Structures are given as structure tokens and as C-alpha cells.
Amino acid sequence: MKEGFDKHHLLGIEKLSASEILFIIKTAEAMKEISYRKIKKVPTLRGKTVITFFYEPSTRTRTSFEIAAKRLSADTINISASTSSLVKGESLLDTAKNLQAMQPDVLVIRHPHAGAPHFLAKHIKAAVINAGDGMHEHPTQALLDAMSIMEKKGDIKGLEIAIIGDIAHSRVARSDILLFTKLGARVRIAGPLTLIPPYAETLGAKVCGCIEEALEGTDVVIALRVQRERLKQVLFPDLREYAIRFGLNKKRLSLTKRGAILMHPGPVNWGVELDPEIMDMDRTIILDQVTNGVAVRMAVLALVTG
């Protein structure tokens, strides 16, 4: 298998090979140690400019990218929709051209529309990293999820992984399913039918009729966030009913394999998709995911500029 990563952009998991995925994770594992040094900085990206451009609100991902870039000594600039010329009606194309004119090396973008990073990649020379595009992909999240699973389980191959909740609107679910199946895991998905996309099985996951079926004997459980804005649509009656019928609690998790781990891409609605009683369980590795997020983003930043 060819080792390495020679892509200029990271737009999604879809176009990555298993060996590229493993190489990124291996690089991230090496990067992780930097965050525990007394002086958390290496010169890898000295003299490089990284712009994070977030058209959607984000705390975790944006901060994670910024910390990652800074630990690699890059100069970082953060732009959000409210502070950009978007509010003046500038088009995405014009914004891209103007940013490119300032010669950045990397553009990290989050956008509410699927394919926005792909569009930018066609128009600018800087490396584009997709930090979440609409309901499409969120590749660095899937990479950090895989890294976190590998830390606990060693290998992804052969694992049974359940993803529970709003699959339809989740870019995390799409990237996770693509990545886990590329690495040889079996993925099951479950949630109310209103939140399962049509032809979900074409993503490579098995659609389960109920939460219990999806959890039975799994090694890994990933709960997804219930987006409150979905309440405006006719997708489920209310948060209370969701918590009762589809939320994860100790009882439901007892169906999983012994030693199964619980993950969540955050931010968690405690009391909705996750019962607070499982917050401090050993198997809950939500904060390890966040830690690994920095390492994965350091790796990706280093690789696309390398």
C-alpha cells in the first residue's frame, strides 16, 4: 500500500483511500504529543498563513483549527459570516478571489451549503480544508473520530459501529460512514425515520428499525446532536419525546458489547440525545475526541501544505 498524502485539498472522506486516511491518523498521533509539551509550538508552518472562514457558528471546530495552526507556528486569521463582506452581499466567488489575492496558504471553510469547499477549491490556489459543508461532509471530524476509536480499540477493521440520531441532516454521519466502511468496520444507523435519509443504505450503512437493534452488540456508539432548529420542521414532536424514544441512557447502552465506547461530535444537548447519567462513565470519550481534534487538524494542516 502506498504511504503518504499528496492531495492539495481536504474536501471530504469520499475521495480518500484507506491508506491516506491511516497516514493522516498516524501523522496526528505523532502531532498529539506537542499539545502536552511545556512549550506547545513547533515551526512546521512558520511563515504560512491560515485563514479560517466560518459561515456558520462554531466554537469547537474553529477553535480547534486555530489552536492547531498556532501550535504549528502558522499565522491565523479568523473570518466569520457576521464580520465578513457577506453581510454587504459579496458573493462567495468574489470573496474567494479577494482572499486568494492576499496569498493565504490554507483556507479552512465551514459553509451551510454542500459543495462550498469544492467550489472554492476550483477558484483559489490555497489549500482548502472542509470544516463542514451543509449536510455533506465533515472530514476532520470523521478523522478525529477514527483516531479516538483506534486509541481505545486498536483497529477499526471488524468493529460494529452504531450512529444514532439525525442522520439525514448530519455531515458527521456521512463522513463517519464513509471513513469507517473504508477501514473495514460495519456501520449501523438508527433514528426516527424522518431523520434517516432516503436510500441511506447507499451510504454503506445498515439501517436499523429501532435504536435497540442498532445498539445490540456494538463496539462503538456515536450519538448525534439534535439540532433544535429542526423543531420548526415536522420531524419529531418535541424534545421530551425524542429523549424518551431515541435518547441514549445507561439501560439502552447496556445492549452494547462490554467495553463499548460512546462518542458524540458535540455540542451535546444533555437530556435530549444523551441522558446526563452517562456523562461521566468511563466509556464516554467525548472529551478525548476534542483533544484528538487538535492533533488531527495539525496533521491535516501540515500535510496539505507539505
Partner 1 sequence: MKLLIKSGRVIDPTQHLDKVLDVFIEDGVIKDIMANIEMDNVQKIDAQGKIVCPGLIDVHVHLREPGFEYKETIETGLKAAVAGGFTAVCCMANTNPVNDNQEVTRYILKKAQEVNLARIYPIGAVSKGLEGKELASIGELKEAGVVALSDDGNPIYDSGFLRRAMEYAKCFELPIISHAEDKKMSPDGVMNEGKISTKLGLPGIPKASEEIMVFRDIKLAELTGWHIHIAHVSTAGAVDLIREAKRRGIRVTAETCPHYFSLTEEAVEGFNTNAKVSPPLRTRNDVEAIKQGLKDGTIDLIATDHAPHHPLEKETTFEDAPSGIIGLETSLPISLRLVEEGVLSWSELIDKMSCAPARIFGLLAGSLEPGKVADITIIDPDITYQIDPSQFFSKGRNCPFAGWGVKGRAVIAIVGGKIVYQFEKIRTS
Question: By the criterion CB under 8 A, which residues form the site for partner 1?
Answer: 91-93, 111-116, 118-119, 133-137, 171, 174, 197-200, 202-203
Q: What residues have CB less than 8 Å from 226, skipping those under 6 apart? A: 165, 166, 239, 242, 269, 272, 273
CB of 143 within 8 A of CB of 180?
no
128, 150, 157, 160: which is closest to 15 by C-alpha? Answer: 128
| 134/266 with CB nearer partner 1 | 134
How far from chain centre, in Å, is Cα 72? 21
CA 261-258-288 angle, to 5 degrees, is 20
Count of CB atoms situated within 10 Å of the CB of 136:
21
- Closest CB 45 distance from partner 1, rounded Å: 28
- Closest CB 48 distance from partner 1, rounded Å: 27
| 200/208 with CB nearer partner 1 | 200
- Closest CB 168 distance from partner 1, rounded Å: 8
- Closest CB 233 distance from partner 1, rounded Å: 9
| 62/174 with CB nearer partner 1 | 174
Most distant CA atoms of the chain, gap in Å = 56
Give the whole-angstrom CA distance, residue 147 versus residue 218. 18
- Closest CB 298 distance from partner 1, rounded Å: 26
| 203/255 with CB nearer partner 1 | 203
| 172/272 with CB nearer partner 1 | 172
- Closest CB 199 distance from partner 1, rounded Å: 4
- Closest CB 37 distance from partner 1, rounded Å: 38
How far from chain centre, in Å, is Cα 26? 17
| 197/293 with CB nearer partner 1 | 197
Sheet of 49-54: strand order equals 75-80, 49-54, 106-111, 127-133
Residues making up the chain, counted from first to last: 306
- Closest CB 66 distance from partner 1, rounded Å: 24
CB of 148 within 8 A of CB of 288?
yes
| 23/180 with CB nearer partner 1 | 180
Give the whole-angstrom CA distance, residue 254 versus residue 233. 32
CB of 113 within 8 A of CB of 133?
yes
CB of 158 within 8 A of CB of 217?
no
| 72/207 with CB nearer partner 1 | 207
